[in-house]
Amino acid sequence: MLPTLRIGAESERQRGYQPDERVTREMMEGYDANLLICSHSRVVTDRGVYVCPILIEAPDAKLGINLTEAQGRYALRHHACYTCWQYGALCSNASSQRRDG
């Protein structure tokens, strides 16, 4: 089972993300960033290369038009990143190691 992403229609059904539900530098201390899909994968589309499938509609998630341009790190600035931090790489292999914020 995948955890709930509080975006789109889900934010209206239950609730959206709270303002403090964002990943901070402190939260990343000691955290294995390899659990996050954005640290080792990219999504290639006919519109360009994106950091992850969850953020494909977010303009700032487009990293470039090809894989060469899409190299490098991505700042975890979206609320959906919080859910990935809690559960691991949702889109590839959901983790059973839930973290509380």
pLDDT in tens, 9-19: 999 999 999 99
Residue 96 domain-assigned (yes or no): no
Higher pLDDT pick, 43 / 96: 43
Burial of 75 (0-12, 13-18, 19+ CB in 10 A): exposed
Q: Is residue 56 part of a domain?
A: yes
Residue 98 within any structural domain of the chain: no
Give the Cα separation of 83 and 65 in Å (integer): 27
Pull the structure tokens for residue 50. Answer: 């994106």
Q: Is the pLDDT of residue 98 over 70?
A: no
The yes-or-no verdict on residue 29 having pLDDT over 70 is yes
In a domain, 20, yes or no: yes
Task: Please enumerate in sequence order all residues whose Cβ is within 8 A of that of 57, keeping only pairs 6 or more positions apart, or say none.
Answer: none
14, part of any domain? yes
Domain count, the chain: 1
pTM over 0.75: yes
- Tell me the residue range of the domain where 21 lies: 9-87
Q: What is the DSSP letter of 26?
A: H
Q: Look at residue 31 and tell me if it is in a domain.
A: yes
Q: Is residue 93 part of a domain?
A: no
Q: What is the pLDDT of residues 60-69, one digit of tens each?
A: 999 999 999 9
| Domain assignment of residue 71, yes or no | yes
For the segment 63-87, the average pLDDT, to the nearest whole number, is: 93
pLDDT of residue 1: 72
